[in-house]
Amino acid sequence: MTNSKKTIAITLLGALFAQSSYAVTCQGVPVAPAIEPTTGDVLISSVGGLIWPRLCSLKTTTPQGVTPDTCKSIYATVLNAQSSGRALTISTTSSYASCAAVPQWQYLEGFSFLVING
């Protein structure tokens, strides 16, 4: 393989890897945390560009593997951030290009971590 073909192959592999490994990180003070009463799902009206993300369920394990016990901690963290006026960082390993592009009312694809800033 010539050097130019190797360069093209490496560039194409890099582009393919970059497209499949997006990470979306959204930061902001959570507005109106909520629990959907029939499913037990925990949602937030808005946070850092996300609109009504469905974080987890207090009743069942989510498709992303978040258990109800972990969901209790997530909900407590969200409430703590909201009541103290502190920002949250929510990170996902998803195929979305921005926080605003994440679909509303659905579980966060690739939900990887949640932290209170500051």
pLDDT by residue for the chain (118 residues), tens digit each? 555 443 333 333 343 344 445 688 999 999 999 999 999 999 999 999 999 999 999 999 999 899 999 999 999 999 999 999 999 999 998 888 899 999 999 999 889 889 998 7
Report the C-alpha gap between 74 and 10 in whole angstroms: 40
Q: DSSP letter for 107, please.
A: B
The pLDDT assigned to 15 comes to 38
Domain chopping of the chain, boundaries:
22-116
The pLDDT assigned to 22 comes to 61
Query: Which amino acid would we find at residue 59?
Result: K
Any residues with CB less than 8 A from the CB of 1 and at least 6 apart, and which?
9
Report the C-alpha gap between 84 and 79 in whole angstroms: 8
Q: DSSP letter for 114, please.
A: E
The pLDDT assigned to 93 comes to 87
Question: Measured on CA atoms in the order 84, 104, 98, 107, is the torsion positive or negative?
Answer: positive
How many residues does the structure list for the chain? 118
The pLDDT assigned to 54 comes to 95
Per DSSP, the three-state class of 39 is coil
Query: Which amino acid would we find at residue 96?
Result: Y
The pLDDT assigned to 97 comes to 87
What would the CATH number be for the domain defined by 22-116?
A: 2.40.50
Q: What is the pTM for the complete model shown?
A: 0.78
Q: Which of 80-107 are b and which e, b meaning 16 or more Cβ less than 10 Å from the residue's Cβ? A: ebbeeeebbbbbbebebeebeebeeeeb
The pLDDT assigned to 75 comes to 96
